[in-house]
Structure formats: C-alpha cells, structure tokens
Amino acid sequence: MNLKKLSKILGLSQTTVSRALNGYPEVSEATRKKVQEVALAHHYIPNMRAKSLATGRSMAIGHVIPGSTRREIVNPVFADFISGAGEVYAQNDHDMLLSIVADSDEERTYRQLSAKASVDGVIVHGPRENDPRITLLKELGLPFVVHGRAGDNHGDYSWVDVNNRRSFERATEFLFDLGHRKIALINGLEFMDFAQRRKGGYLAAHRKHGRTPDPELMISEEMTEDVGYRRALDMLNRAAAPSAFLVSSMITAIGVRRAISDAGKKMGRDISVVIHDDELSYLPNGVDIPIFTATKSSVRQAGRLCAQMLLDIIREKDLTPRHILLESELTVGESTGAFQK
Amino acid sequence: MNLKKLSKILGLSQTTVSRALNGYPEVSEATRKKVQEVALAHHYIPNMRAKSLATGRSMAIGHVIPGSTRREIVNPVFADFISGAGEVYAQNDHDMLLSIVADSDEERTYRQLSAKASVDGVIVHGPRENDPRITLLKELGLPFVVHGRAGDNHGDYSWVDVNNRRSFERATEFLFDLGHRKIALINGLEFMDFAQRRKGGYLAAHRKHGRTPDPELMISEEMTEDVGYRRALDMLNRAAAPSAFLVSSMITAIGVRRAISDAGKKMGRDISVVIHDDELSYLPNGVDIPIFTATKSSVRQAGRLCAQMLLDIIREKDLTPRHILLESELTVGESTGAFQK
DNA sequence: GTGAAAGCGCTAACAT
DNA sequence: ATGTTAGCGCTTTCAC
C-alpha cells in the first residue's frame, strides 16, 4: 500500500491524504478522520526511502563504534547504553544505525555517513583526549553528542558525562574514612578521557588527606577480568599490599575479587573494592559481597540522555553545545551494612 | 556534491556518470577513468536516500533485539555477535539497523521495518520454541536469517547455529571420563531453543552411560552471575553435592566459580566447570582456572556467517532456506593441563 | 479546504 | 558508447 493507491481509494488527492496524515492544520477534521481510518484499515505506512528523499531527513541516528583495536567498547557498558538510547529512538520513531568500524577507517566512516545522508546525527562513543572525530564532525556540520568528554582544551561541543573526577575523589575519601591507607587504583587505558578524570579524583583525595599515593598501586590497562585478576594478585603479594581497590569497571572488579579470594584474603573491613560502573543489567548489584559502587547514574540512563539530547538538537536545528554532567552517589551493596560509616 | 553537479563539471550526462561509477560495461574505459578521478577529487558519494528510492534496495540489514523483558540478549554474546556481523556489512557496504524493542511490539516492529522499506532483510535474535516471528517474516516476504533455531516442527527457514546438543553431550561424556558422577547442569530459560538442545545432549550422555541424572542438579534460569552463584552454592551445600558443573554461559560460570570458592571447595579433578560460550572478547579465555569450553566456534564468527548468509540470500534473490551448523570442539584452558584426560 | 505539478537525487528503459 | 526521458513515493509550493 502506498500514498497513490490510498488516495485513489479515498477519492482524494495525494496531497490531502499526506496532509491529513501528517497533522497539517488546513485539512478538515472530517476528512482527516476518514483518511486516518482508511489508512489504518489498509495498514498504510509511508515508505521511508521516499519520505527521506522528499524531506531531507533520514529519521535515523548513527552510532559509530571503534571496532577491533580498542575493546573498551565491545563490553557490557555498550549493550546497556545502546539499549537506553534505543528506547528513546523507538519512542520518537527514529532508527538506530550501528557502524562497527576499524579505528583506521573512522574518518572515512563519518564522512560517508554524512555524505550518504543516511543519518541525521551521530553519537560519539569512547572519546579519547583531543579526539580528532570532534573536529571532523563540526567541519561536516553533522549534529552529534559525545558520550563522555574528550579533554578540556578542545572547542565546545555537546556531551553527556558522569562526574568521574568527583566520583573517584569521594570513593577514595570514603575508603580513607574506613581506615584504609594503601588504596590501589585499577584504571582504564590512559588515553581514555574518563581514566584521566578518575585518576585526577583519586589523586585529589590523596592530596587533601596529605598522603602520597604509591605509584606501584596505580595501573592503567584494558578493562578485562584478566587484567584485574593478574594485577590485583601481584599487588596483594607485594610487601606493601593494598587494603582496598578502586576499580574502573565491573568486569575488571570480577577479576580483582577473584584475586583477593585466591590470595587467601577475606574481603571485609580490611579489603574493600569500590567499582565504578553500576546497574549493568546482567551483573549482580547488591549481592552479598562487599562491593561499593561509586556512581548511581546508570549507563542505560546515559544512553537515554544522549539520544534525547541529540534528537532535541536536530529538531530545534540548534547546534549550540549542551552538556549534562551526571552527579554520582556512593552506594553500598545491601548485605554490606558493616561497611557503612 | 551530487550527480547533477558532477556531470555538469565533466560535461557528461548523469546517466553516463552513474554508469561509469557503478561499473556498467558499456562505458568506455577512458571516460570511466576520468569520471572516477573527478568524482574522487570532489569527494562525491552518492546520496543513499535517493539511491534507495531509485533501486528499491536500502543496503541495510535490521537486527531486532527483544529489549526489556528477557535480558538474555543484553549480554556479552550480543556485543560479539553484532561486532562480527558489522564487519561483514562494512565490507559489503551495507548498514546495520538496530531496533531494541519491547517484546510486546515485536510484531509491529517487523511490520514497520518491512513497510517502511528501511531494510532489505533482518537477523532474528534469541529464537524461542515455535517462534511467531518466523511465520510473520515469511508472510511479509522479508528475507531473514535466524541466529539459532526455533524448534524443529516449524516450517523450514534459514539459520546459523552451533550444534548445542552434541556440544553438551560430549562435554558431559568428558566429565564422565574424568571420573565425575554427579554433574550439575546450569542452563538458560527453558523456552529458549538452545537450552532445550543442550539439555538433550546432557541427558543423552547420561543414557549412554546408563546413569539417571539427578533432577535437583538441573536448573533452567536466566543466565546471570547471580543465578550461577546462588544455585551453585545451594547445590554444593547439599548432601549429594555435584563434583562438576556444566554451565550455559560464561557470565553464569563466573557466579558458579565464586560459589565454589566460597563453599571452600577447590576446583580441580574434584570440581570442574564446563561452560559453553567461548572467546567472548572481554572475558579471559585460558587463564589459570580449571574451565573447559565446550565449543570453539566463536559468537563473533556466528555473527559473520549470519550476515554473510543474509547478504547472499538478498543478492541472489533466492529465499530457499540455508543452514549452517557449527560443530564444536572441546577445548581446555591452557594452564589446566592437569585436567586433560 | 483541496488539488495539480514540480522536485528530492538517483537509476533504468529506451533511444541513437 | 552516450544521451533523453521517465519514474521511485513522498512532500511542498502554488493555484483555485
């Protein structure tokens, strides 16, 4: 079923039918009603290919995921984020276009996306410090929102981010308050913006408490379980072993947890783990292990906010940058009352 | 830059330019060369909206992910699968359209996807027994490939699947050979096709060895870490505790592993864990824990194969069903030499 | 309030 | 080997 046939059936012109369906005011309520009925009865759904061409809008948003090299993104966070964004798109009748792309073709991908006109805007994932993609997107005039930030000495642009710095500062202080003195930081790769900010918070807390952090206790690597396990085990077997861990990802924390158990330590007041990601949908939250989460802003919510912001930008045709900084809450697993201050 | 301008610059008709760029044979090599040069110089990339409308092909594949209710799919398997499929699309100049959709509007989503003509075909994720989506897609005439199968007493359709039955049969026999007699099966939800097949393999091995499986050692639940932990702990605390676990997902296996450790058992000849998913990109494979993987066919590879099959179906306009059954290999983590037969 | 006609940027049938 | 013309299915002037 298409417009032509439908208008024939109704004995009206394509124009009128189109107007009736798209809520234009100049059509009489009587005909509008009639048109809507018949359209529904015949399962009429406008062909997007034609609609896009005519309106110049694709009603689709692109998500470009750096593929092979950095695995940061083929991780659970991604699934939750996408799922939140997808929710918003569904409500607003938009599609989501996903490009998994080798780091080397990223530039080409964006240029293509823009020239092919298959999306109205893009979400940028996993920004690095001084990310070249941002300059490129501005140059292309393609609306975009960044999940996270890409350093500060960059021109302004729209982003949604968690207050990583403050979140880790408070988590560190929390551990200090519990009596911990040697706190390990298991962080993500250094060129990731969030890793820098988290480290900043960790260091700030140390300064504030007049303590110098042990460089051996700070590592920046890929956020896999394996890394968490090995590095935590190494640290626990040192003379100056840490009594607490600050971990940048739930996945890594699983490895850390296992290391603690293998090292024969018991998690408790003496060994604590504070992680960052929370509310990932397939991992336990609040089960009976002493894990603290440093944020309460879920990844899924970030996905929703990014999507909504981008849709607003496109609708209002206003490219002036907007920002959302999600403040975090320090939450403690339910069975860990003993660790509350 | 568009065709019109480009052809004006070249002093040729749009038709010739289009033909030159799309590799039609009737254009002279001289002009083709010239056209390609100028097109490249001017960064000409054809507008997909227009191209789609003219050709009737979107050059896009839809992936419909059941969203909220069943979390089976917002899991790491999904990310790896998608990433494999995305690779193939990129190579073939196709886009991937992702719809995260509430189970209740799945039907509507497929109808829309078909009517809006925004995709040339779809991949069906997480099939259940007698899945209604398959009938619907056939009725719509939209090409599709199923990742997994949806029961057997269903009409024929194209799928890519792992030999779940044989994989679990062999894994069970392997554990028997190691001397295990009480083997627990921690499986996915019962209405999932793969869970049925895996259970079938588990039972077949028992029959073959003349053993009756303990019903208390067989559970079917959501594949989360939490479930793995709780259920394994329960089992280990029973009088007739299992000495080995067959686990349907890596995530769940993490929970099982933790339970074993908490129950004060050591994994070794006496306690083994055999899981199914392998090569998930962010989880360790072959680290120094006694985990066996029952398949070697990676999820990412399944993604590639699904995508390639669908692309072939579309290109050849041949809807006759095709199947790929990936045979599994039982592999053993590298540091677990002690557990080899 | 409704309709006729032009056009979005491309491809494809039909000339030549 | 190249050009002319007519759509693809919709929206959007412009006229009535």
Could you tell me the CATH number of the domain that includes residue A24? Answer: 1.10.260.40
Q: What is the tens place of the pLDDT at every residue in B196-216?
A: 999 999 999 999 999 999 999
Is B336 part of any domain? no
A286, part of any domain: yes
Say yes or no for a CB contact (<8 Å) between B117 and A287: no
B325 touches chain A (CB under 8 A): no
Q: What is the pLDDT of residue B288?
A: 44
pTM beyond 0.75: the answer is yes
B23 touches strand D (CB under 7 A): no
Q: What pLDDT is stored for residue A339 in this prediction?
A: 36
Q: Give the H or E element holding residue A81.
A: helix A76-91
| Structure-model confidence comparison of residues B163 and A103, the more confident one | B163
Name the residue facing A99 among B43, B86, B118 (closest C-beta): B86
Our measurement of the distance from residue B227's CA atom to the centroid of its chain's CA atoms, rounded to an integer in Å, reads 22
Compute CA A25 distance to the chain's CA centroid, rounded to the nearest angstrom. 39
Structure tokens at B153: 């007493």
**Domain co-membership, B258 together with B113:** no
Regarding whether B224 and B154 lie in a shared domain, the answer is no
Assess if residue A320 is contained within a domain. yes
Task: Decide if B282 and A71 are in contact by the 8 Å CB cutoff.
Answer: yes
Statement to judge: residues B25 and B128 lie in one domain: no
Rounded to whole angstroms, the Cα distance separating B317 from A24 reads: 40
pLDDT of residue A333: 55
Contacts with A48 from chain B: Cβ below 8 Å: 116-118
Comparison of pLDDT for B94 and A100, the residue scoring more:
B94
Is-contact B94 B59, C-beta < 8 A?
Answer: yes
Which pLDDT score is estimated for A130? 80
B247 within 8 A of B273, measured Cβ to Cβ: yes
**How far does B308 lie from chain A, in Å, by closest CA?**
16
Q: Is A310 found in the same domain as A283?
A: no
Does residue A234 sit in the same domain as residue A312? no
Percent of chain B with pLDDT over 90: 58
The answer to whether residue B168 scores a pLDDT higher than 70 is yes
Residue scoring higher pLDDT (A10 or B285): A10
Residue A95's pLDDT is: 96
Chain D bases closer than 7 angstroms to a protein Cβ: 1-5, 7-13
The CATH number that applies at residue B220 is: 3.40.50.2300
**Tokens read off for B166:** 């044989």
What is the DSSP secondary structure assignment for residue A215, as one 8-state letter? Answer: G
Domain shared by B184 and B263, yes or no: yes
Query: Is B38 in the same domain as B139?
Result: no
State mean pLDDT over B30-51: 95
User: What range defines the domain where residue A16 resides?
Assistant: 3-46
Residue A82 has its nearest CB partner, among B45, B98, B282, at B98
Tally of domains in chain B: 3
Per-residue model confidence (pLDDT) at position A336: 38
Strand intervals (E) in A40-104: 60-66, 95-101
pLDDT bin (cut points 50, 70, 90) of residue B86 is very high
- For residues B209 and B309, membership in a common domain is answered with no
* Same domain, residue pair B255 and B303: no
Identify whether A210 is part of a domain: yes
Residue B337, pLDDT score: 36
Q: What is the pLDDT of residue B291?
A: 67
Residues of chain A with pLDDT under 50: 285-289, 334-341
What pLDDT does A68 receive? 56
Asked, for residue B337, whether it belongs to a domain, the answer is no
Strand-pair partners of B3: none
Round to whole Å and give the CA distance between A290 and A267: 7
**Taking Cα atoms as reference points, which of A180, A190, A188 lies closest to residue A211?**
A180
Asked if residue B249 belongs to a domain, the reply is yes
A27 in a domain, yes or no?
yes
Split at pLDDT 50, 70, 90, the class of B280 is: low
Nucleotides of C under 7 A from a protein CB: 1-5, 7-13
Handedness of CA B32, B34, B37, B40 (dihedral sign): negative
**One domain for residues A37 and A95:** no
Residue B236 lies in a domain: yes
Q: Report yes or no: A64 at the B interface, CB cutoff 8 Å.
A: no
Same domain, B168 and B256: yes
A81/A74 Cα distance (integer angstroms): 12
Do residues A148 and A70 both lie within one domain?
yes
